[in-house]
Structure 1
Amino acid sequence: MGELTESSTPKTAPPRAPPFREDCWSEEATETLVDAWGRRYMELNRGNLRQKDWQEVADAVNSVHGHNKKARRTDVQCKNRIDTLKKKYKIEKARVSDSNGAIASSWPFFDRLDVLIGPAATAKKLPQPQPLQVSSPPLALPFPYRKPPGVTVQPVVLLPQKRPAPAVDDSYFRKNYSFIAAAAAAAEEEEEEEREGSEELESSEESGEVEGMKRLASAIERFGEIYQRIEGEKQRQMIELEKQRMQFAKDLEIQRMQLFMDTQVQLEKIKQAKRSGSDDMYS
């Protein structure tokens, strides 16, 4: 009975393996990726890879491991895989550094990435300037001069030296000093007279300009007075015309009212005449 029960109980199926992920990387494909990326990274002097560079890295990986459609990698997948490896390297590097070298990383890509992106690799080493080797100049040895064949040497022409100026006797200047002083005084007097004449001319020109300005101001003032009188006369005439117009309108209105009153009186007389005539007829 018990055997029947056990045989009748359905057996549960074993758990199925997870489906294959297209972005999972094998260790061999990752090694090929790191090598291809590392070469390109060093060629660019540890600079960032561009899209065409990542495409070349993906082509290198696919040429070795891309035998089927699922195994082929794109440039985006290669870049994401390298970013994941960099994060993994930082974690391993921190763990090794915290242990002060007591433990070593068992991660197979640690040494390769440490060479490429480790602190020792990224530190820029400035080249030390080499001291200049200053050598003593070679000693010059006199060589005998030989005239080349076919070359004529022009003779050196010596220019005549300038003769020194003869000494001048200053007694000549002492003798003619009074004449020179008199000529200088006369020239100074002439300059003074010319200066005074120019000053008088300038003063006369200035006085003429002032007189002209005064005349111009007087003419402008007279023109203003004339204009003011003309404007005043114009205003007076306009006022007089306005008075005449108002008087004419007033007279016209009075005549109209007078005519209206006369018409009313005539109509009233006609009505009274009609009434009186009708009364006589009935009587």
Structure 2
Amino acid sequence: MLAPALVLFGLFVLYPLVGAVRISLTDSTGIGEARWVGLGNYAELARDPVFWRAAGHTVLLAAVSVPVSLALGLALALLLRDKLPGRGLFRALFLAPYVLSGVVVAMAGRWIFDENIGIVHRLALALHLPAWSWQSSPWPAAASIVLVLLWARTGLAVVLYLSALQGVPADVMEAAELDGASPWQRLRYVVWPLLRPTTFFLTVLLVIETFQVFDLVWVMTGGGPAGGTELLVTYAYGQGFNARREGYGSAIGVVVFVVVLAATALWWRAQRASEDEA
């Protein structure tokens, strides 16, 4: 029963991963024969300030977007938990950006934050607010990436939290209410512990996806301005395909894989320890 899945996993995941590791140990340019350099690309990474800046941007994006996505998703799920009119429509609207192509979402974000004709720019002018340089200044450009990413990711958290909330036993909630627990106490001591598996799954999934963000940044800013939105994946792509340094770009990709794997393992251990204590 597992054989078809294992074959596909080996063909489309393990084999490319082994190939990337092999290429990262060479000076491959994609043209001609590659020369073996061993750990030379990784040694260069350690001295590359652009790599460390891209790594800092990636970690900061994950540190900001993941907790906010979880918080917004849970808050919206609590609002949509009751049988409100049009609840199915709201679910579809929240999930739509997640299931749409990343390029489509990025093009929409680029149009929304356009400095000349964008909705945000026109709204700022209408309200007599200062207009930000969303596309030509590093920090506003980074803020636009975060906002569009939250728009694209929160819908998944809403849907999964809604499904988890439907599994909360009604009799447990009624017992807590009869015991005098306030809405916040019921959320903190009854609902939240039951949502930990969903939160763990979402955290791991969103962290992995954040470290793999490419199309959103590439379409909206291209990693600019002045490298202000450069992430590890966009830097790897630029080095591998624009600069024709496939070996160096593959080394960056291997580093991203190792970091995500280590972060997932640490978070899993912390989650297991928390469950054991409970």
Task: Give TM class, smaller chain.
Answer: under 0.3
Q: TM-score, normalised by structure 1?
A: 0.18
Of Structure 1 and Structure 2, the greater helix share is in: 2
